[in-house]
């Protein structure tokens, strides 16, 4: 999949699936998640990592026709990443989530490993993409380098638990301590036209809290979020989708602009002011809505 195509993937909800948990995988297959992230890293106990790795191809073959499927591999410094890449490259693999990325060097090394394995597997013409997981202070300080000039990188994912541990911060209930790193991740991803995926909401039974967080994420510029349970999928999909009112307003702006010089600022009949940047957001809103309707078959 070309990077330009991957950047257009619908990724409002990325459902994490531990690679060793069959029942979680079966539950994920019944969900409406936009993407699955098959995990080989933190959610898999060390003694089960090899078994989880051996199952990835079967999972890709079962899920790859309906979902965009990513695999989170172990970090470059773990000593397991190369073996993970050897096991997971497949025609139905949409991309790789790189855990604990520290900077461009880690991403380049992952890219080189993927290129070598794709060549062996005859998949050089459909390279998979990379989503670096920003979850330490070094990565936050290097977010621009994680996306600039790295062809496979189609966006960034933020992980708050490891980040807070690296920051040696206790975490605050209102998450004010996460505002700056989250904003930096979203800005860096959007600067290259990529996707920005926010950190998961850990209180699985708090649906209202999850929705509030997701809406704040959207306001920061994120296009989706990691979810840890199927019950969070609908919440994320709804929060990161434009409302019918937003779509109607966007269409109205575009219709009105069609009657004027596109380089001029215009006003609606109700007195609302619009200009080229507003029309750009309107086009994006309508296009996102079209892609969402195409997914649900409407």
Which one of 193, 221, 239 terminates a domain?
239
What's the CATH number where 37 sits?
A: 3.20.20.60
DSSP 78: G
Return the pLDDT at 194: 93
Domain that holds residue 253: 244-296
Query: In sequence order, what are the residues at sequence separation of 6 or more whose Cβ sits closer than 8 angstroms to the Cβ of residue 291?
Result: 8, 10
Return the pLDDT at 231: 94
CA distance 228 to 30: 14
Q: Do 189 and 147 touch, CB atoms closer than 8 A?
A: yes
DSSP 126: S
Which one of 199, 221, 239 terminates a domain?
239
- The answer to whether residues 168 and 270 belong to one domain is no
Q: What is the pTM of this model?
A: 0.90
- The answer to whether residues 230 and 260 belong to one domain is no
Count of domains observed in the chain: 2
- The answer to whether residues 253 and 235 belong to one domain is no
297: helix, strand or coil: coil
- The answer to whether residues 162 and 92 belong to one domain is yes
Mean pLDDT of 5-33: 91
What is the per-residue pLDDT across 73-124, written as a single tens digit (0 to 9) for each? 998 888 999 999 999 999 999 999 999 999 999 999 999 999 999 999 999 8
Query: In sequence order, what are the residues at sequence separation of 6 or more whose Cβ sits closer than 8 angstroms to the Cβ of residue 159?
Result: 133, 134, 135, 199, 226
Residue 4 has pLDDT above 80, yes or no: no
Q: What is the largest CA-CA distance in the chain?
A: 66
Return the pLDDT at 235: 97
Return the pLDDT at 195: 95
What is the per-residue pLDDT across 87-99, written as a single tens digit (0 to 9) for each? 999 999 999 999 9
- The answer to whether residues 30 and 170 belong to one domain is yes
Question: Residue 49 — pLDDT band, cuts 50, 70, 90?
Answer: very high
A 10 A CB-CB count for 7 gives 18
What is the per-residue pLDDT across 251-285, written as a single tens digit (0 to 9) for each? 988 887 776 555 556 666 566 666 778 888 889 88
Question: Residue 183 — pLDDT band, cuts 50, 70, 90?
Answer: very high
Which one of 221, 239, 257 terminates a domain?
239
What is the per-residue pLDDT across 130-172, written as a single tens digit (0 to 9) for each? 999 999 999 999 999 999 878 899 999 999 999 999 999 988 8
């Amino acid at each position: 999949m070309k990077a330009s195509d991957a950047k257009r993937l619908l990724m409002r909800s990325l459902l994490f699936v531990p690679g060793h948990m069959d029942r979680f995988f079966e539950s994920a297959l019944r969900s409406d998640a936009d993407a699955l992230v098959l995990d080989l890293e933190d959610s898999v106990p060390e003694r089960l990592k090899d078994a989880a790795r051996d199952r990835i191809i079967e999972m890709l073959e079962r899920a790859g026709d309906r979902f965009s499927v990513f695999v989170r591999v172990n970090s470059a410094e773990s000593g397991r990443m190369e073996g993970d890449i050897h096991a997971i490259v497949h025609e139905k693999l949409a991309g790789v989530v790189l855990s604990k990325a520290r900077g461009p060097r880690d991403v380049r090394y992952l890219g080189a490993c993927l290129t070598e394995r794709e060549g062996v597997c005859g998949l050089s013409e459909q390279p998979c993409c990379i989503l670096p997981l920003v979850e330490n202070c070094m990565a936050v300080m290097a977010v621009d380098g994680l996306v600039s000039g790295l062809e496979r990188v189609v966006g960034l994912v933020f992980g708050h638990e490891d980040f807070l541990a690296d920051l040696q911060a206790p975490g605050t209930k209102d998450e004010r301590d996460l505002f700056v790193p989250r904003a930096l991740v979203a800005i860096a991803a959007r600067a290259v036209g990529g996707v920005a995926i926010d950190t998961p909401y850990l209180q699985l039974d708090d649906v209202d809290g999850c929705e509030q967080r997701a809406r704040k994420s959207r306001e920061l510029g994120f296009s989706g979020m990691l979810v840890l349970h199927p019950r969070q999928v609908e919440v994320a999909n709804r929060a990161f989708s434009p409302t019918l009112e937003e779509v109607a307003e966007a269409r109205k702006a575009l219709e009105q602009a069609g009657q004027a010089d596109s380089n001029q600022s215009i006003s609606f009949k109700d007195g609302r002011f619009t200009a080229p940047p507003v029309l750009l957001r309107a086009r994006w809103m309508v296009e996102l809505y079209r892609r969402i309707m195409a997914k649900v078959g409407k």
